[in-house]
Structure 1
C-alpha cells in the first residue's frame, strides 16, 4: 500500500467522497449486472445529498467507517443493525465500497476486518451481507475472508428489473 492510510468513523463532511466512491465502484462493478442507463444516471450531487443526510443523523444502530489514504477517502463501509428479520445476535454489513483505483491493494481487506471487529464490539456473534448475483469479484473477496453463501436469495425491487441478491454469512470471532 502506498501512502499513509487510516480507518475512521465517517462524518457528514465525508458525504461527497462517499458518493463519488459509490458511483465509481458501482459503475465498475455492476456493468452487465445493473442496466447501463441506471448506472449512467447516477448523480454525484443527488447522492451527496443522500449521504449528507445519512451521515448527519444522530449516531444510531448503523455505523459508517471511512478508509483514507493520505487524508483522502478511498473507501467506506456501513454496518450494524440488520434490515432483515434474522436471528438475534446477527448484524449486517450493509455495504462496502472501494474506489476502483485502490482495488487489490489490501485496503478493502483491512476495512472488512475492522468492520467484523466492530460488529463483535456491537454485540453481534454472526453477520451477513447481500451480494448481487453475478458479482463474482465480491463473492471471491468475501470467500477469502471465510464468509460463504447460505442458499438464501432475494430480489431487490428498488431496481427495474429487480436485482437478484445472494446472502453471504459468517460467524464473527471475538
Structure 2
C-alpha cells in the first residue's frame, strides 16, 4: 500500500491536472496498443475530456476521485451512481510515471467500497481490447468479461467486464 498517496473527492480546481493524467494515460495505452498518434490525438477529443471531467466533478451523477502525492494529482477515477443495480466504473487513470506504486489499486478499492455502500450487486466497465495492462489489472481485481462489445479506436473493440460486489 502506498501511504504517501491520498485518495480524495475531486474538486473543480483539480480539473486541469485530472485532464493531464487522463491524457498521459490514454496516450500511453493507445501507443502501446499500436495506434498512431493521429488516430487518438484529435484536439476535439481533448476538449471533450475537459468537458467530461468538468461535468463529472460538478454533477451529482458521478463519484469523482483524485489520487494525490504531495501536491500532484497522479490518478483519477470516475464512476456513476447506481442505476438498476449497477455502478458503472467509467475510468481509472494513473499518470504513467506513477505506475507500479499501488495507486490504481487504491482507486479501485475506493470504487469497490462505493459499490458496496450503494448496495449494488455488481459493477460494470468497458476496457479497450488492446489495453493489456488494464485488462490484466481488472482481471487481477476479480473482473470478468460479460460478453458486451462496443466499437473502439483502431478497429479494436471495447470489452465489457463485470465485478460482483460480494
Q: TM-score range by the shorter chain?
A: 0.7 to 0.9
What is the alpha-carbon distance in structure 2 between the residues aligned to residue 118 and residue 45 of structure 1? 28
Does residue 154 in structure 1 map to residue 128 in structure 2? no
Does residue 63 in structure 1 map to residue 59 in structure 2? no
Relative to the length of structure 1, the TM-score reads 0.82
Structure 1 residue 171 displacement after superposition: 0.5
What corresponds to 1:41 in structure 2? 42
Q: Which runs of 5+ in 2 are unaligned?
A: none
Does residue 81 in structure 1 map to residue 81 in structure 2? yes
- Per-residue CA shift, 1:125-166, capped at 9, x if unaligned? 20010011111111100111111112221125xx5x665110
Structure holding more helix per residue: 2
For the residue of structure 2 that corresponds to 1:40, the secondary structure is coil
RMSD across aligned C-alpha pairs, in angstroms?
2.6
Q: Which runs of 5+ in 1 are unaligned?
A: none
Count residues with an aligned counterpart: 165
For the residue of structure 2 that corresponds to 1:20, the secondary structure is helix
Structure 1 residue 2 displacement after superposition: 6.9
Write out the 4+ residue segments of structure 1 that deviate beyond 6 Å after TM superposition: none
What is the alpha-carbon distance in structure 2 between the residues aligned to residue 151 and residue 44 of structure 1? 27
